[in-house]
Amino acid sequence: MAVKPDDYMTGDAGMAISPDGLRLAYYRATDRRVVVGDLSTGKVIPIGRRATGPQLAKTPSSLLFPNDGTRLTITSGEPALHRTLLADVGTGAFTTLPADDLIGFSQDASTIVLGYVWAGRSLLCSPVRTAPCAPG
């Protein structure tokens, strides 16, 4: 798989390689989307939908694969839309997570730790699916 220079928009996030070395995620300039390429087949899967309006102000601030490499987290670089998405790299479908910043993953990638600051306090979340946030 080759990424053409005109197709790659550097942005804040850069590229991310899955832990198994089989996938490459990046923000594609031609259609303003995060995409995941399979390095063994060359197949490219767009994540979600094309960025429009204020979403174009900034590219993603981070792209990160958890240890299992089947999902990708995307943190928005636009302050007004600051959020983290969790995408299925096989289908391109994504879920918006209930906090602004990705902090990390458990070793088996079953738990995602998120955080944000609200009213001067930080809040940490460790959702397994829809677990509630707890003050930190």
Q: What is the pLDDT of residue 81?
A: 61
- Contact (CB, 8 A) for 46 and 92: yes
Gyration radius (Cα) of the chain, Å: 15
pTM: 0.70
| pLDDT for residue 107 is more than 50 | yes
As separate numbers, helices (DSSP H) first and strands (DSSP E) second, the chain gives 0, 12
Q: Give pLDDT tens digits for 59-95.
A: 677 888 887 788 888 887 665 566 777 888 888 888 7
DSSP state of 5: T
- Identify the band that residue 22 occupies on the pLDDT scale cut at 50, 70 and 90: very high
CA pseudo-torsion sign 111, 87, 54, 28: positive
DSSP state of 91: T
Q: What is the pLDDT of residue 128?
A: 41
Q: Residue 26 belongs to what H/E stretch?
A: strand 23-28
- Identify the band that residue 41 occupies on the pLDDT scale cut at 50, 70 and 90: very high
C-alpha to C-alpha distance for 83 and 106, rounded to whole angstroms: 20
Q: What is the pLDDT of residue 53?
A: 47
